[in-house]
């Protein structure tokens, strides 16, 4: 089976499972799980922030990030297609009484700063209080340029806003830009990182920020049900991933680029490819047929008029060769 629906589908490798089995654990709610502590220290070191906190999911880490930055009646500026606006069940509004102010993404995945500036509300009791700009990096595989992040950072300093980056796939940006994480994270106050996407762990995300912020986040994490006990078992997978699975993301990017070229060569319309994501167009009338064709060939893929294909550490070049041959057979029938 080839699974290209998402980079969340990766399974823990034998070596990662060994690391989990060998993990020293404590009770992380009592703050004495040494493996969770080590992971948080490592995330803080890599991001250049003072502290970090381990969460079961990225959704919860993003929610807690928003709950720390914004009070009831505050507002965050966010992308119309951003995960922490569109794909987290409205948690900030439901649980935090925080108003989102969505902005359309530019073609490159950024939020145009003129539009961000125009959306910042003046200090007037008619309006919600604008507190935060939330960016997503990478967004649909697109890497936000460092020059853009620097400008966004300056804008938020001028307007006394905080800047959060949803960096579920931030290490794809790190590898694509060939920089250290700190070179990106210096342009944000807080950052979320998913370990369970391309980094290949079964579970886990991190929120990075300053000491006071992370202490506040610890309270919100407890309140939202994210305080875990012998979570060193899970943190060990995270430590393993940070050590072994970052540099290899380049293979996923190369595979996605290669697949784009191959599909284009057999007549598939490629829309775009960035880092580990490839978007192709499928004629509406062919969608159902291609769906069953892929199923019959043991390929899991979310076929639609715009089909997203995601490469990851459980997909090899050989798997992709098989996919191209299978797709070509479909077009030739």
Ligand X SMILES: *Cc1c(COP(=O)(O)O)cnc(C)c1O
Catalog residues that contact ligand X under the rule CB under 6 A: 57-59, 62, 83, 136, 166, 168, 194, 196-197, 205
Say if residues 106 and 52 touch (Cβ distance below 8 Å).
no
Say if residues 315 and 255 touch (Cβ distance below 8 Å).
yes
Taking the least distance from each CB to ligand X, the nearer of 60 and 130 is 60
Taking the least distance from each CB to ligand X, the nearer of 57 and 230 is 57
Taking the least distance from each CB to ligand X, the nearer of 10 and 196 is 196
Instruction: Please state, in angstroms and rounded to a whole number, the distance separating the CA atoms of residues 263 and 243.
Output: 33
Taking the least distance from each CB to ligand X, the nearer of 226 and 260 is 226
Least distance (Å) from ligand X to the CB of residue 193? 10
Say if residues 116 and 103 touch (Cβ distance below 8 Å).
yes
Taking the least distance from each CB to ligand X, the nearer of 83 and 312 is 83
Residues 6+ apart with CB under 8 A from 1: 298, 299, 300
Q: Which residue is nearest to ligand X (CB)?
A: 58
Least distance (Å) from ligand X to the CB of residue 127? 27
Can you read off the two tokens belonging to residue 289?
């047929």
Least distance (Å) from ligand X to the CB of residue 170? 10
Taking the least distance from each CB to ligand X, the nearer of 75 and 136 is 136
Can you read off the two tokens belonging to residue 62?
């993003």
* Helix orientation angle between 232-244 and 14-21, rounded to the nearest 10 degrees: 140
Tell me if residue 25 falls in helix, strand or coil: coil
Least distance (Å) from ligand X to the CB of residue 12? 15
Sign of the Cα pseudo-torsion (39, 45, 51, 54, in order): negative
Least distance (Å) from ligand X to the CB of residue 168? 3
Least distance (Å) from ligand X to the CB of residue 80? 13
Taking the least distance from each CB to ligand X, the nearer of 198 and 260 is 198
Least distance (Å) from ligand X to the CB of residue 196? 6
CB atoms within 10 A of CB 107: 7
Determine which helix (DSSP H) or strand (DSSP E) holds 103, and give its type and residue range.
Answer: strand 99-103
**What backbone torsions phi and psi does residue 114 show, to the nearest 5 degrees?**
-65, -40
CB atoms within 10 A of CB 198: 28
Can you read off the two tokens belonging to residue 142?
């697109």
């Amino acid at each position: 089976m080839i699974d290209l629906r998402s980079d969340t589908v990766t399974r823990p490798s034998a070596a990662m499972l060994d690391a989990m089995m060998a993990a020293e654990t404590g009770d992380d709610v009592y703050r004495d799980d040494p493996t969770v502590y080590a992971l948080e220290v490592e995330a803080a070191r890599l991001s250049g922030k003072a502290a970090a906190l381990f969460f079961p999911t990225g959704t919860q880490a993003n929610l807690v990030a928003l709950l720390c930055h914004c009070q009831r009646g505050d507002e965050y500026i966010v992308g119309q297609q951003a995960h922490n606006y569109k794909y987290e069940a409205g948690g900030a509004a439901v649980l935090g009484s925080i108003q989102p102010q969505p902005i359309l993404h530019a073609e490159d995945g950024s939020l145009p700063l003129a539009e961000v500036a125009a959306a910042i509300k003046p200090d007037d009791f008619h309006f919600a209080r604008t507190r935060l700009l939330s960016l997503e990096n990478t967004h649909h595989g697109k890497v936000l340029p460092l020059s853009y992040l620097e400008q966004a950072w300056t804008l938020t300093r001028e307007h006394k806003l905080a800047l959060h980056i949803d960096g579920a796939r931030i290490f794809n940006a790190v590898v694509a830009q060939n920089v250290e994480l700190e070179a990106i994270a210096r342009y944000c106050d807080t950052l979320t990182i998913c370990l369970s996407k391309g980094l290949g762990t079964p579970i886990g995300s991190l929120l990075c920020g300053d000491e006071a912020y992370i202490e506040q986040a610890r309270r919100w994490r407890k309140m939202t049900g994210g305080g875990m006990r012998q979570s060193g078992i899970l943190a060990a997978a995270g430590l393993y991933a940070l050590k072994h699975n970052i540099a290899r993301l380049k293979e996923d990017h190369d595979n996605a680029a290669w697949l784009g070229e191959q599909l284009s060569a057999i007549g598939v319309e490629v829309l775009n490819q960035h880092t580990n994501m490839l978007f192709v167009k499928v004629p509406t009338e062919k969608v159902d047929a291609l769906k069953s064709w892929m199923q019959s060939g043991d390929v899991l893929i979310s076929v639609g008029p715009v089909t997203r294909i995601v490469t990851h550490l459980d997909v090899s070049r050989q798997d992709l060769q098989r996919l191209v041959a299978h797709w070509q057979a479909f077009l030739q029938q």
